[in-house]
Amino acid sequence: MKIPGSVALVTGSNRGIGRQFARVLVQRGAAKVYATARNPEHIDVPGVEALRLDITDPASIAEVAAVAQDVTLLVNNAGTSTNTNLVTGDLAKIRLEMDTHYFGTLGMVRAFAPVLAANGGGAIVNMLSALSWFAFDGANAYAAAKAAEWNLTNAIRLELAGQGTFVTGVHLGVADTDMVKGIDYDGPMGDPADVAKAALDSVEAGEIEVVFDDWSAHVKASLAKDPSLFYA
């Protein structure tokens, strides 16, 4: 799939990586970019069509899908991070993580799969995380939801292959976005624009997985080893 001439829809476009996806898509010659957010008045990317979308609300998804019938590229970027653990954490926050990253992403895929099929197949990009592959005390609700979204990505890739829809997943450690402000982290952070560029490069190259940074590569490599070595 080529980005120039495509019609893209990006969730969570008001800030961070989603904002950069929208900006880079415009720069690379997408024919139209639907930039969506729960508060579209906060979207400030020139050249996009802003739409209101809450991916945890099936009615909101249906409304946007009815409008954006020309989409050929769906970027599932919207997310949340509640810094919640599983055993004693607030169940409402745990459910919000799963409703956003898993059921919200699935809702978008189910709504837009027929649209993509009608428009020749197209592609889907799911923003995942290095936390798809490991747990971290203090963010285990997020890790569990991202792990579910990772295998969702693998599953829909198989299910949508017959209609010609390409699916790629993007894993990264920490990007310099509002979501990570206030966390106790002093390591390197990825540039959100570079994440968007790498993801779109992979779509055009036909690569089903983006391992954006060294940390993600390290975590992925650890999966083939004794887990006690990693968690030590």
Q: What pLDDT does 179 receive?
A: 54
Q: What pLDDT does 27 receive?
A: 97
Q: What pLDDT does 191 receive?
A: 85
- How does pLDDT run across 197-209, given as a tens digit for each residue? 999 999 999 999 9
Runs of H (alpha helix) within the chain:
16-27, 58-67, 91-98, 105-118, 140-160, 192-205, 214-222, 227-231
Q: Is pLDDT at 229 greater than 90 in this prediction?
A: yes
- How does pLDDT run across 50-102, given as a tens digit for each residue? 999 999 999 999 999 999 999 999 999 999 999 999 999 999 999 999 999 99
Residue 1 lies in a domain: no
Residue 64 lies in a domain: yes
Q: Mind giving me the DSSP string for 112-144?
A: HHHHHHHTT--EEEEE--GGGS---TT-HHHHH
Residue 129 lies in a domain: yes
Q: Is pLDDT at 26 greater than 90 in this prediction?
A: yes
Residue 60 lies in a domain: yes
Q: What pLDDT does 147 receive?
A: 98
Owning domain of residue 203? 7-231
User: SS3 for 156-181, per residue?
Assistant: HHHHHHHHCCEEEEEECCCECCHHHC
Read off the pLDDT of each residue in 21-33 and give the average, rounded to a whole number: 97
- How does pLDDT run across 163-179, given as a tens digit for each residue? 999 999 999 986 554 55
Q: Is pLDDT at 184 greater than 80 in this prediction?
A: no
Q: What pLDDT does 181 receive?
A: 54
Q: What pLDDT does 173 receive?
A: 86
Residue 72 lies in a domain: yes
Residue 37 lies in a domain: yes
Lookup: tokens for 7? 């019609």
CB 171 within 8 A of CB 146: no
Residue 193 lies in a domain: yes
Q: What pLDDT does 182 receive?
A: 52
Question: How many CA atoms within 13 Å lie on the side-chain side of 64?
Answer: 30
Residue 2 lies in a domain: no
Strands 209-211 and 49-52: unpaired
DSSP-derived 3-state class of residue 193: helix
Between 19 and 185, residue with greater pLDDT: 19
Report the CATH number at residue 216.
Answer: 3.40.50.720
Question: How many CA atoms within 13 Å lie on the side-chain side of 79?
Answer: 25
Bin 157: left if φ > 0, else alpha if -120 < ψ < 50, else beta.
alpha
Q: Which amino acid is at 226?
A: D
- How does pLDDT run across 127-163, given as a tens digit for each residue? 999 999 999 999 999 999 999 999 999 999 999 999 9
Lookup: tokens for 30? 């997408």
Q: How many domains does the chain have?
A: 1
